[in-house]
Amino acid sequence: METIQISDQEFTQFQRLIHQLAGISLSPAKKALVCGRLGKRLAQHHLHSYGEYFNLLTDKHHQDELQMAVDLLTTNETYFFREPKHFDFLRQQIKPGRPFRVWSAACSSGEEPYSIAMVLADLLGDSPWEVVASDISTRVLDKARAGHYPLERTSGISREHLSRYCLKGVGSQQGTLLVESKLRGRVNFMQLNLSKQLPVLGEFDLIFLRNVMIYFDIETKRQVVQRMLPLLRAGGHFLVGHSESLNGVVDSLQTIAPAIYRKP
Protein backbone atom coordinates (compact mmCIF):
# COMPACT_ATOMS: atom_id res chain seq x y z
CA MET A 1 0.00 0.00 0.00
CA GLU A 2 1.35 3.42 -0.99
CA THR A 3 2.29 5.67 1.93
CA ILE A 4 0.53 9.02 1.69
CA GLN A 5 2.72 11.97 2.67
CA ILE A 6 1.40 14.97 4.56
CA SER A 7 2.18 18.42 3.16
CA ASP A 8 3.30 21.34 5.34
CA GLN A 9 -0.05 23.06 4.75
CA GLU A 10 -2.00 19.91 5.76
CA PHE A 11 0.17 19.41 8.85
CA THR A 12 -0.54 23.02 9.89
CA GLN A 13 -4.27 22.23 9.71
CA PHE A 14 -3.83 19.28 12.08
CA GLN A 15 -1.60 21.34 14.41
CA ARG A 16 -4.38 23.93 14.74
CA LEU A 17 -7.10 21.31 15.14
CA ILE A 18 -5.43 19.35 17.96
CA HIS A 19 -4.45 22.59 19.75
CA GLN A 20 -8.03 23.84 19.51
CA LEU A 21 -9.50 20.52 20.70
CA ALA A 22 -7.00 19.39 23.34
CA GLY A 23 -4.55 22.24 23.94
CA ILE A 24 -1.71 20.10 22.57
CA SER A 25 1.13 21.76 20.64
CA LEU A 26 2.51 19.54 17.87
CA SER A 27 6.00 20.64 16.79
CA PRO A 28 7.07 20.19 13.14
CA ALA A 29 9.12 17.21 14.35
CA LYS A 30 5.80 15.39 14.93
CA LYS A 31 4.90 15.15 11.22
CA ALA A 32 6.00 11.51 11.10
CA LEU A 33 3.97 10.76 14.23
CA VAL A 34 0.83 12.26 12.68
CA CYS A 35 1.32 10.14 9.54
CA GLY A 36 2.05 7.03 11.58
CA ARG A 37 -1.00 7.45 13.80
CA LEU A 38 -3.53 8.62 11.18
CA GLY A 39 -2.37 6.86 7.99
CA LYS A 40 -4.60 3.82 8.59
CA ARG A 41 -7.63 6.07 8.99
CA LEU A 42 -7.09 7.47 5.48
CA ALA A 43 -6.98 3.91 4.14
CA GLN A 44 -10.10 3.01 6.16
CA HIS A 45 -12.05 5.82 4.46
CA HIS A 46 -10.42 5.34 1.00
CA LEU A 47 -9.01 8.87 1.06
CA HIS A 48 -6.05 10.06 -0.99
CA SER A 49 -4.72 12.97 1.07
CA TYR A 50 -4.56 14.33 4.61
CA GLY A 51 -6.49 17.35 3.35
CA GLU A 52 -9.42 15.08 2.49
CA TYR A 53 -9.19 13.48 5.94
CA PHE A 54 -9.11 16.91 7.62
CA ASN A 55 -12.28 17.89 5.72
CA LEU A 56 -13.92 14.67 6.95
CA LEU A 57 -12.97 15.48 10.55
CA THR A 58 -14.43 18.98 10.37
CA ASP A 59 -17.73 17.67 8.98
CA LYS A 60 -20.18 17.64 11.90
CA HIS A 61 -21.56 14.27 10.70
CA HIS A 62 -18.27 12.56 11.57
CA GLN A 63 -17.90 13.30 15.30
CA ASP A 64 -16.95 9.67 16.01
CA GLU A 65 -14.05 9.90 13.58
CA LEU A 66 -12.97 13.19 15.15
CA GLN A 67 -12.84 11.48 18.56
CA MET A 68 -10.86 8.63 16.99
CA ALA A 69 -8.30 11.11 15.61
CA VAL A 70 -8.00 12.84 18.99
CA ASP A 71 -7.52 9.44 20.66
CA LEU A 72 -4.76 8.48 18.23
CA LEU A 73 -2.90 11.79 18.58
CA THR A 74 -3.07 12.05 22.39
CA THR A 75 -2.09 8.54 23.53
CA ASN A 76 0.84 8.71 25.97
CA GLU A 77 3.24 6.08 27.28
CA THR A 78 2.61 5.01 30.87
CA TYR A 79 3.39 2.15 33.24
CA PHE A 80 2.70 0.96 36.79
CA PHE A 81 4.37 2.87 39.67
CA ARG A 82 6.12 5.24 37.26
CA GLU A 83 8.40 7.65 39.16
CA PRO A 84 8.28 5.60 42.41
CA LYS A 85 9.22 8.51 44.71
CA HIS A 86 5.81 10.02 44.02
CA PHE A 87 4.17 6.89 45.42
CA ASP A 88 6.43 7.01 48.48
CA PHE A 89 5.25 10.61 48.94
CA LEU A 90 1.61 9.55 48.52
CA ARG A 91 2.03 6.97 51.32
CA GLN A 92 3.30 9.71 53.65
CA GLN A 93 0.24 11.91 53.01
CA ILE A 94 -2.42 9.35 53.86
CA LYS A 95 -3.91 9.86 57.31
CA PRO A 96 -6.33 7.12 58.41
CA GLY A 97 -9.56 8.41 59.86
CA ARG A 98 -10.77 10.75 57.15
CA PRO A 99 -11.84 10.38 53.51
CA PHE A 100 -8.97 10.69 51.02
CA ARG A 101 -9.42 11.60 47.35
CA VAL A 102 -6.87 11.54 44.53
CA TRP A 103 -7.28 12.71 40.93
CA SER A 104 -5.22 11.07 38.19
CA ALA A 105 -5.87 13.80 35.63
CA ALA A 106 -4.25 12.27 32.54
CA CYS A 107 -4.68 8.60 33.35
CA SER A 108 -4.08 7.11 29.87
CA SER A 109 -4.62 3.31 29.95
CA GLY A 110 -5.03 3.17 33.74
CA GLU A 111 -1.67 2.11 35.14
CA GLU A 112 -1.28 5.32 37.20
CA PRO A 113 -4.70 5.33 38.91
CA TYR A 114 -4.49 1.60 39.67
CA SER A 115 -1.04 2.16 41.21
CA ILE A 116 -2.54 4.94 43.35
CA ALA A 117 -5.47 2.71 44.30
CA MET A 118 -3.14 -0.09 45.45
CA VAL A 119 -1.37 2.33 47.81
CA LEU A 120 -4.66 3.68 49.19
CA ALA A 121 -6.10 0.18 49.61
CA ASP A 122 -2.95 -0.85 51.52
CA LEU A 123 -3.24 1.97 54.02
CA LEU A 124 -6.98 2.72 54.17
CA GLY A 125 -8.59 -0.62 53.35
CA ASP A 126 -12.36 -0.26 53.24
CA SER A 127 -12.31 3.26 54.75
CA PRO A 128 -13.69 6.09 52.57
CA TRP A 129 -11.29 6.83 49.72
CA GLU A 130 -11.63 7.43 46.00
CA VAL A 131 -9.48 7.71 42.90
CA VAL A 132 -10.93 9.79 40.05
CA ALA A 133 -9.16 9.07 36.76
CA SER A 134 -9.71 11.16 33.64
CA ASP A 135 -8.40 11.31 30.10
CA ILE A 136 -9.42 12.95 26.83
CA SER A 137 -9.15 9.65 24.94
CA THR A 138 -12.15 7.32 25.00
CA ARG A 139 -10.02 4.53 23.54
CA VAL A 140 -7.52 4.43 26.42
CA LEU A 141 -10.34 4.84 28.96
CA ASP A 142 -11.94 1.65 27.64
CA LYS A 143 -8.62 -0.15 28.23
CA ALA A 144 -8.29 1.43 31.67
CA ARG A 145 -11.77 0.37 32.81
CA ALA A 146 -11.06 -3.21 31.72
CA GLY A 147 -7.88 -3.30 33.88
CA HIS A 148 -6.47 -6.07 31.68
CA TYR A 149 -2.76 -5.83 30.76
CA PRO A 150 -0.02 -7.89 29.12
CA LEU A 151 2.31 -9.27 31.81
CA GLU A 152 5.31 -7.40 30.39
CA ARG A 153 3.56 -4.10 31.20
CA THR A 154 3.23 -4.99 34.90
CA SER A 155 6.91 -5.21 35.89
CA GLY A 156 6.61 -2.16 38.19
CA ILE A 157 4.09 -3.91 40.47
CA SER A 158 5.60 -5.47 43.62
CA ARG A 159 5.10 -9.18 44.30
CA GLU A 160 2.94 -8.27 47.31
CA HIS A 161 0.65 -6.05 45.23
CA LEU A 162 0.47 -8.66 42.48
CA SER A 163 -0.78 -11.29 44.91
CA ARG A 164 -3.16 -8.92 46.68
CA TYR A 165 -4.75 -6.98 43.84
CA CYS A 166 -4.14 -8.84 40.56
CA LEU A 167 -5.25 -12.06 38.87
CA LYS A 168 -2.85 -13.87 36.56
CA GLY A 169 -4.41 -15.11 33.34
CA VAL A 170 -4.58 -18.83 32.57
CA GLY A 171 -5.57 -20.74 29.44
CA SER A 172 -6.51 -18.34 26.65
CA GLN A 173 -5.64 -15.39 28.96
CA GLN A 174 -2.11 -16.64 29.66
CA GLY A 175 0.48 -13.89 29.54
CA THR A 176 -1.96 -11.29 30.86
CA LEU A 177 -2.97 -9.82 34.20
CA LEU A 178 -6.32 -8.50 35.43
CA VAL A 179 -6.68 -5.92 38.21
CA GLU A 180 -9.19 -7.53 40.59
CA SER A 181 -12.74 -6.20 40.49
CA LYS A 182 -12.91 -4.73 44.00
CA LEU A 183 -9.95 -2.44 43.31
CA ARG A 184 -11.28 -1.55 39.85
CA GLY A 185 -14.53 -0.54 41.54
CA ARG A 186 -12.73 2.08 43.66
CA VAL A 187 -11.47 3.95 40.56
CA ASN A 188 -13.95 6.27 38.86
CA PHE A 189 -12.95 6.72 35.18
CA MET A 190 -14.35 9.60 33.11
CA GLN A 191 -13.64 11.37 29.85
CA LEU A 192 -12.48 14.90 30.50
CA ASN A 193 -10.74 17.56 28.41
CA LEU A 194 -8.36 19.58 30.61
CA SER A 195 -8.27 22.42 28.08
CA LYS A 196 -12.03 23.05 28.51
CA GLN A 197 -14.17 24.05 31.50
CA LEU A 198 -14.09 21.30 34.15
CA PRO A 199 -17.17 19.65 35.67
CA VAL A 200 -17.88 19.69 39.41
CA LEU A 201 -15.60 16.99 40.85
CA GLY A 202 -15.32 17.98 44.51
CA GLU A 203 -12.05 18.60 46.34
CA PHE A 204 -8.95 16.44 46.17
CA ASP A 205 -6.12 15.83 48.64
CA LEU A 206 -3.70 15.12 45.83
CA ILE A 207 -3.69 15.70 42.06
CA PHE A 208 -1.42 13.83 39.64
CA LEU A 209 -0.90 15.71 36.36
CA ARG A 210 2.21 13.92 35.16
CA ASN A 211 3.92 13.76 31.79
CA VAL A 212 1.19 15.62 29.93
CA MET A 213 2.14 19.30 30.21
CA ILE A 214 5.18 18.69 28.01
CA TYR A 215 2.61 18.69 25.17
CA PHE A 216 1.19 22.14 26.11
CA ASP A 217 2.50 25.60 25.32
CA ILE A 218 3.06 27.94 28.28
CA GLU A 219 -0.30 29.70 28.00
CA THR A 220 -2.20 26.41 27.84
CA LYS A 221 -0.24 25.16 30.88
CA ARG A 222 -1.30 28.25 32.85
CA GLN A 223 -4.95 27.88 31.88
CA VAL A 224 -5.04 24.14 32.67
CA VAL A 225 -3.43 24.55 36.11
CA GLN A 226 -5.64 27.54 36.98
CA ARG A 227 -8.73 25.44 36.17
CA MET A 228 -7.51 22.57 38.34
CA LEU A 229 -6.24 24.40 41.42
CA PRO A 230 -9.71 25.25 42.86
CA LEU A 231 -10.29 21.46 43.06
CA LEU A 232 -7.21 20.97 45.28
CA ARG A 233 -7.92 21.47 48.97
CA ALA A 234 -5.76 23.81 51.07
CA GLY A 235 -2.72 21.83 52.17
CA GLY A 236 -3.15 19.41 49.28
CA HIS A 237 -0.42 18.47 46.80
CA PHE A 238 -0.05 18.80 43.02
CA LEU A 239 2.36 16.40 41.27
CA VAL A 240 3.83 16.78 37.79
CA GLY A 241 6.28 14.55 35.90
CA HIS A 242 9.98 14.65 36.82
CA SER A 243 10.78 16.23 33.45
CA GLU A 244 8.20 18.98 34.07
CA SER A 245 8.01 22.09 36.24
CA LEU A 246 5.41 24.65 37.28
CA ASN A 247 7.99 27.47 37.32
CA GLY A 248 6.50 30.34 35.35
CA VAL A 249 3.16 28.52 35.19
CA VAL A 250 1.73 29.27 38.65
CA ASP A 251 3.13 31.17 41.63
CA SER A 252 0.54 30.24 44.28
CA LEU A 253 2.02 26.80 45.04
CA GLN A 254 5.00 25.97 47.26
CA THR A 255 7.69 23.63 45.92
CA ILE A 256 8.09 20.68 48.33
CA ALA A 257 10.37 18.38 46.31
CA PRO A 258 11.18 17.88 42.62
CA ALA A 259 7.86 17.88 40.74
CA ILE A 260 5.83 18.07 44.00
CA TYR A 261 3.95 21.26 44.95
CA ARG A 262 1.76 22.19 47.93
CA LYS A 263 -1.27 24.49 48.00
CA PRO A 264 -0.97 26.77 51.08
- Which residue intervals of 80-158 are DSSP H helices? 84-93, 111-124, 138-146
Phi/psi region, residue 37 (left: phi>0; alpha: psi -120 to 50; beta: rest), is alpha
190 touches 162 (CB < 8 A):
no
Sign of the C-alpha dihedral computed for residues 264, 91, 203 and 107 taken in this order: positive
- Phi and psi for 195 in degrees, rounded to 5? -90, 5
135 is catalytic: yes
71, 101, 135, 210: which is the annotated catalytic residue?
135
16 is catalytic: no
Measured in degrees and rounded to the nearest 5, phi and psi for residue 75 equal: -70, 125
Kindly name the residue from 37, 41, 145, 153 that is annotated as catalytic. 37
Q: Are 150 and 174 in contact (CB under 8 A)?
A: no
**What is the Cβ-side half-sphere exposure of residue 114, based on CA atoms within 13 angstroms?**
34
Q: How far is the C-alpha of 82 from the C-alpha of 193, rounded, in Å?
A: 23
Query: Which contacts (CB < 8 Å, 24+ apart) does range 6-15 have?
Result: 6/31, 6/34, 6/35, 6/50, 7/50, 7/51, 9/51, 10/49, 10/50, 10/51, 10/54, 11/50, 13/50, 13/51, 13/54, 14/38, 14/50, 14/54, 14/73
Active site residue ranges = 37, 135
